[in-house]
Chains A and B, each alone.
Chain A
């Protein structure tokens, strides 16, 4: 949301009312139920004991959780570091009009449309050295590749899979953002004798800022909740090298049928994502406005 001054109009609430109704219907009740679970020990549906913040305290001290959290943070930051520049580059490289742009758009968005469990399954075969294309190719290059045996290989495979799966999201947003820049801006830039890099830095990037911010937040929070793909591909292994937060949570919730601690865990999880996104969002807003003030606008 832009930080420039806008006219105050309280009636704008009526415009956002439908959205609030739609979202609140599915958001508030389930959230309250989870909060309710998190302070109880549910022995059976009829026998519940109020335990206060006991689950929260227990979870905060959990060593395994700290491990999973660090793995998660490293993974999410790596995802952003690769997918954001790659996506912007891809958006800049995609043809602007004509049949080529249509074909490229469809090809680029294909990977987004595959259900996540199928993505995991396909990469599971794709990476096998006996029957998979990537595995066989890597072995042909003389690399002892094994995503089931080697922790680093497993981690990299999950990362490459995520890059393959989700870079198109950044690219599509960036591409649509680029296409909405009025021609007048480019004409003005060419009159000023701006180089390609200048155009990118002072015209394209500031104009894409809004959509790129969405891309960063989306990729950050979705990669923070990544579950299905690594679960299908590696099952969290070898060891726990690819056991990320949500899989750890699911092990707690489903594996032990322990609703109280699982609910407390998911609330903490939610608060961590919320906090990180809030920091990221505010930081990007500040960087954006500073660039605007210092830039050519």
Chain B
């Protein structure tokens, strides 16, 4: 590897990491301050260090149940999205059939609907089927944008795998399910990892649908957070602490899928 070029890349990466971390650093910094300190003085470190904001969230059931609710529906959603998307992506990448290109593009159009006006119809639909304020309702509603995303990402990765591999496996006597799980999935590990992370992420941060379809039992953390905005002004410190805590589950997820993303094809070869 060319050494000076390697250096340049490292410098760029370092600069980007600083840029990426500065706003997050400021959020962490705020989460250890009191509201008064945030608004009155500028300081790089909390002058009156306090855990109170975190205590508020972790001891109040209406706060921390938000995290649990979000995790439940996000988990359901991610599992369903990946499970249904895998065979579909395989079909799109390997076969041509009546209307395949149209269906493929139509899937993505479901991500293009501006949410504001669709909230009322969603509310009516889920009230009619009796799913209001359940985790399933939010998980199902989020399939609308996550399934197309997963299909598109997985299809992109599957198309990169030469078709000869499928044919060789069939000649060797593999059945389709066995070939798919034993040979094909390891080849597209990186794609599955990225798709799963993106499904998790988009469902995790979605606010409008999640808030509309829940009231008490399944209220997500993103909706709970909006109550830091009140008539008496913003509760900046609690919001910052809640924001720091919302990063944690996703960071854990990416930590677990990192090996899928980082190694990919080269290590997964049979």
Contacts and interface: CB of A to CB of B under 8 A. Distances in A.
Interface of A: 1-2, 5-13, 15-16, 18-20, 22-23, 25-27, 29-31, 33-34, 37, 86, 89-90, 92-94, 96-97, 101-102, 104-118, 121-123, 125-126, 130-134, 136, 164, 168-169, 172-173, 175-177, 179-183, 196, 207, 210-211, 213-214, 217-218, 221-222, 224-225, 227-228, 245-246, 249-250, 253-254, 259, 262-263, 265-266, 269-270, 273-274, 277-278, 281
Interface in B20-38: 20-27, 30, 38
Contacts of B107: 19, 23
A180 B191 contact: yes
A105 B153 contact: no
Contacts of B104: 1
Interface of B: 2, 5, 9-10, 12-13, 16-17, 19-27, 30, 38-42, 44, 80, 83-85, 87-88, 90-98, 100-101, 103-105, 107-118, 120-122, 124-125, 140-141, 143-144, 147-149, 151-153, 155-157, 159-160, 187-188, 190-191, 193-194, 197-198, 201, 204-205, 207, 221-222, 225-226, 234, 236, 239-240, 242-243, 246-247, 249-251, 254-255, 258, 261-266, 269
Nearest to B255: A106
B112 A107 contact: no
Contacts of A13: 91, 97-98
A27 B262 CA distance: 35
Nearest to A273: B112
7 contacts: A16-B92, A16-B103, A104-B17, A110-B21, A115-B222, A210-B156, A274-B112
Given A277-B108, A281-B105, A16 B201 contact: no
A256 B190 CA distance: 47
Given A30-B118, A210-B160, A218 B143 contact: no
Interface centre among A9, A27, A169, A245, by most chain B C-beta atoms within 10 angstroms, is A27
Given A8-B97, A121-B243, 10 more contacts: A11-B97, A12-B95, A101-B258, A104-B17, A109-B250, A114-B246, A115-B225, A131-B39, A227-B115, A266-B113
Given A19-B107, A115-B243, A131-B38, A196 B5 contact: yes
A172 to B, nearest CB: 6
A95 to B, nearest CB: 8
Q: Lowest 6 CB-CB distances: which A-B pairs, in order? A: A210-B156, A179-B264, A113-B250, A30-B121, A33-B121, A15-B91
B26 A125 contact: yes
Contacts of A172: 194, 197-198, 261
Given A113-B204, A118-B246, A228-B207, A214 B153 contact: yes
B120 A259 contact: yes
B254 A109 contact: yes
B140 A15 contact: no
A19 B265 contact: no
Contact of A26 (B17, B41, B144, B234): B144
A29 B249 CA distance: 33
A136 B42 contact: yes
A196 B8 CA distance: 13
A253 B23 CA distance: 33
B193 A176 contact: yes
Contact of B144 (A23, A102, A109, A179): A23
Contact of B188 (A29, A180, A277): A180
B117 A263 contact: yes
Contact of B117 (A11, A16, A26, A266): A266
